[in-house]
Amino acid sequence: MRALMLHEKNRMSIEEVEPVGSPGPGQVRITMHTVGICASDVHYWTDGKIGPFVVKAPMILGHEGAGTVAEVGEGVTHLAVGDRVAMEPGVPDPSSRAVLEGNYNVDPGVQFWATPPVHGCLADEVIHSAAFTFPLPDSLSFAEGALIEPFSVGMFAATKANLAPGDVAAVVGSGTIGIMTALAARAGGAGTVYISDVLPEKLALLDGLEGIVPVDATKEDLGARVRAETGGWGPQVVFEATGAAPAYTKLWEMPAPGGRIVLVGMPVDPVPFDIATAQSRGISLETVFRYANVYQKAIDLAATDAIDLSRFVSETFTFDDSEKAFERFLEGRPTDVKLQITL
């Protein structure tokens, strides 16, 4: 079978690899259809590493996937051959303490696609845990199914924010994850979600979405805009979705008194934390790492009229043009949200 293999920094190619074989008990074999490109895939290609995760051996890329069940293993009853599915890419150790405490996303032993040394899903077929494989309703395309992975990050962020109906939320950054977070926050009860970015072209992609207000960060301050429209009070929840160090300068004073900050973006280096300001204003803090216990909810929500993920698929490439898709990602076109590859 074919796979997009990353051999080392700046060297990847489509090549023939050993077939995956038959699924074991509790597993399914899936014929891949659509895979989204994530910034992490690109970082492994351009840098050969992300923090402590280093590519030391050839690795198949890709972790945002959707496909069709080709074979089911022993004991699998909720899936059948021919089912269209989306796959949660991280499979934890079921006996780990993190799993038993309900926090499987931080299980040290989790096997997460395309995180060295674990192979990803940019291949003709994969074997995956049936427990982390979810049927797609007829109303969702394969493209939308592949977008469930980043949407789940936004869902997890909105869940950890403990949103209440009518809350005002602010999202710093309108990259893919920022947009997904804004959608989830709005669906999760926020009356208004303000979202800022330095690229007006990207903010324009949000035009027409009810309850989501784009803010051009080159022209106005996000915190000041929200305070001006809330009688000087500010947002109950602030989501930081860039991971960029400058974003943290005024972050701690942005929420309303007693409000919450949810850190979704992950900084490359340590950033300043104004503890005194956070304490004196009663600000609580939550962090997000991937997601847990939200994948099915993300699918269910995406299948409703409240969410349209398809509008954020910027362009689709064939498998043979995979490297062109990665090169397009590096261009950083302001109107690009999600690039995908079909197999």
pLDDT more than 90, % of the chain: 96
Cα–Cα distance measured from residue 329 to residue 84, given in angstroms and rounded to the nearest whole number:
27
Query: Among candidates 77, 107, 74, which has minimal Cα distance to 90?
Result: 107
* DSSP structure string for 215-273: EETTTS-HHHHHHHTTTT---SEEEE-S--GGGGTTGGGSSPTT-EEEE-S--SS----
Cα–Cα distance measured from residue 319 to residue 296, given in angstroms and rounded to the nearest whole number:
28
- Any idea what the Cα angle at residue 23 is, between residues 94 and 115, rounded to 5°? 55
- Per-residue pLDDT of 265-316, as tens digits, reads 998 788 989 999 999 999 999 999 999 999 999 999 999 999 999 999 999 9
What pLDDT does residue 51 have? Answer: 80
Tell me which residue has tokens 């900050």. Answer: 261
Q: Give the single-character DSSP code of 114.
A: T
Contact 271, 248 (CB under 8 A): yes
Strands 2-8 and 53-54: unpaired
What pLDDT does residue 305 have? Answer: 93
Domains with residue ranges and CATH for the chain: 2-135+308-342 (3.90.180.10), 153-287 (3.40.50.720)
Structure-block tokens of residue 138: 């007829």
Q: What is the pTM of this model?
A: 0.96
Q: Is the peptide bond before 270 cis (omega within 30 degrees of 0)?
A: no
**Residue 323 neighbours by CB under 8 Å, 6+ apart:** 12, 13
Q: Is 297 helix (H, G, I), strand (E, B) or coil?
A: helix
* DSSP structure string for 143-155: HHHHHHHHHHHHH
CA gyration radius, the chain: 20
Structure-block tokens of residue 80: 């059948």
Cα–Cα distance measured from residue 110 to residue 25, given in angstroms and rounded to the nearest whole number:
19
Query: Which secondary structure element, helix H or strand E, spans residue 301, and what is its range?
Result: helix 295-302
What pLDDT does residue 268 have? Answer: 79
What pLDDT does residue 50 have? Answer: 86
Burial class (CB in 10 A: 0-12, 13-18, 19+), 338: buried
Task: List the pLDDT tens digit at each of the 343 positions of the chain.
Answer: 999 999 999 999 999 999 999 999 999 999 999 999 999 999 999 999 888 889 999 999 999 999 999 999 999 999 999 999 999 999 999 999 999 999 999 999 999 999 999 999 999 999 999 999 999 999 999 999 999 999 999 999 999 999 999 999 999 999 999 999 999 999 999 999 999 999 999 999 999 999 999 999 999 999 999 999 999 999 999 999 999 999 998 899 999 999 999 999 998 788 989 999 999 999 999 999 999 999 999 999 999 999 999 999 999 999 999 999 999 999 999 999 999 999 9
